[in-house]
Amino acid sequence: MAYEYRRLTPQERETIIRQRIERRYPVHGPPHPYRHPGYYLITAATFEHKPIIADIERRTEFEIRLLSGLDNVQVDVFAWVVLPNHYHVLAGIDALEQLSTALKQLHGATSREWNIVDELTGKRRVWYQFSDRVIRNDPHFYSALDYIHYNPVKHGYVDSPYDWPWSSVHKYLEAHGREWLRAIWQAHPPLDFGDENAP
């Protein structure tokens, strides 16, 4: 992320930029190397992970706008979680460009609105660019689903995934029950998708 980049030595920065250019990635943004239809884990964080979505009403409204915006571009959302400083979505995507456009519009609109409300117009960057990770197979899909649902616990917001309202875990609980969720968890424990070396 941008704030990690600032901590690097000039030599480390030069190496990263050279590698990005060689791979034809954006020089300072997260790469989006996969362009084919499929399942993806989408992640976006507020700039420097500041808790800009900490307000309950703001987070609730953002969750509604995120899901509505993805639905408008025919993205099939299978799981999601919205936290005070980032969100994850597990989605079936036909065109990554449509997703990118929808998220840029959402991020642009919320940045303007929140900076006006917080009286920080021109003083604060709200979002960092989104990243995506292609889902390889069914076990990877269910591990990503579990990772998303466990995220509020992982970050210390709640003791149980069921205690976090801004998550699809409640949709699965209602549709399939706690035993089904427990069986998926046991069969496909969450991977550390935040680790750059994770699959």
Q: What is the CATH number of the domain that holds 63?
A: 3.30.70.1290
Mean pLDDT throughout 16-34? 50
Q: What is the pLDDT of residues 174-199, one digit of tens each?
A: 999 999 999 999 999 987 665 443 33
Contact 70, 63 (CB under 8 A): no
pTM over 0.75: yes
Specify if 197 maps to a domain.
Answer: no
What's the total number of domains in the chain?
A: 2
Q: How far is CA 53 from the centre of its chain?
A: 13
Which candidate, 45, 47, 87, places its Cα nearest to that of 65?
87
Q: What is the pLDDT of residues 72-91, one digit of tens each?
A: 999 999 999 999 999 999 99
* Residue 61 and residue 12 in one domain: no
Contact 127, 44 (CB under 8 A): yes
**Side chain identity at residue 30, one-letter code:** P
Structural domain boundaries, residue 18:
1-29
